[in-house]
């Protein structure tokens, strides 16, 4: 039984690859390469498992794309400062934890990457999911920043809000989160190649 479960996961996971838009991946790479060229800041946000992916992505953009003699990415995950996040949630509400950070940092032409399994669609005991992510994406757009979404399921509200949105089209949190990590590795690797050749 467990062997079949392992095989099924691997088969279903790999079968998703061709269903992900390579066009959207390339567009996201272009947005980020343009940010690197023009010394723009990149901010990455997410909740839960997507928060850990945001941290991982920021690490890979900061270190994994570093090329000797070339300038480096200016990148920050806004999920990492726990005292600040809890202070903002306590005083301004959870839906504002990323907007309030962007108010301190965001400049015209910067990039905000929003990672969300369901793209802000659906709800649970606390209400509609990930309204903090959608609010931050909208704030970024309203303030002349570029926005990149990385979502799953059908893309949710994020699909129509972000300038570019890569969607892993499957209603499974484990598959979506696993693919999001693979995608951030792919994007970081492609950016390193571009930087090496620039």
Phi then psi dihedrals of residue 65, to 5 deg: -100, 0
Domains parsed from the chain with CATH numbers: 2-197 (3.40.50.10490)
Structure tokens that stand for 180 in this block: 């999001």
What's residue 1's pLDDT? Answer: 58
Q: How far is residue 193's CA from residue 97's CA, in Å, rounded to a whole number? A: 34
Q: How confident is the model at residue 128, as a pLDDT?
A: 73
pTM for this entry: 0.96
Could you tell me if 69 and 195 are in contact, meaning their C-beta atoms sit under 8 angstroms apart? Answer: no
The predicted pLDDT at position 123 comes to 67
- Which pLDDT score is estimated for 124? 75
Residues lower than pLDDT 70 in the chain: 1, 123, 126
pLDDT given for residue 26 in this prediction: 98
Q: Report pLDDT for 125.
A: 72
């Amino acid at each position: 039984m467990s062997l079949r479960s392992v095989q099924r996961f691997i088969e279903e996971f790999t079968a998703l690859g061709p269903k992900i838009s390579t066009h959207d991946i390339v567009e996201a790479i272009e947005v980020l390469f343009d940010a690197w060229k023009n010394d723009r800041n990149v901010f990455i946000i997410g909740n839960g498992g997507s928060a850990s992916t945001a941290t991982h992505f920021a690490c890979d953009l900061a270190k994994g794309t570093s090329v000797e003699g070339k300038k480096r990415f200016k990148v920050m995950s806004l999920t990492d400062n726990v005292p600040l996040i809890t202070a903002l949630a306590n005083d301004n509400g959870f839906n504002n934890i990323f907007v309030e950070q962007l108010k301190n940092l965001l400049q015209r032409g910067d990039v905000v990457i929003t990672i969300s399994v369901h793209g802000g669609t659906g709800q649970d005991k606390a209400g509609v999911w990930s309204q903090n992510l959608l609010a931050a994406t909208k704030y970024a757009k309203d303030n002349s920043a570029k926005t990149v979404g990385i979502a799953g399921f059908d893309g949710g509200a994020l699909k129509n809000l972000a300038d570019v949105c890569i969607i892993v089209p499957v209603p499974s949190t484990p598959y979506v989160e696993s693919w999001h990590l693979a995608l951030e590795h792919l994007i970081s690797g492609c950016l390193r190649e571009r930087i090496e050749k620039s």
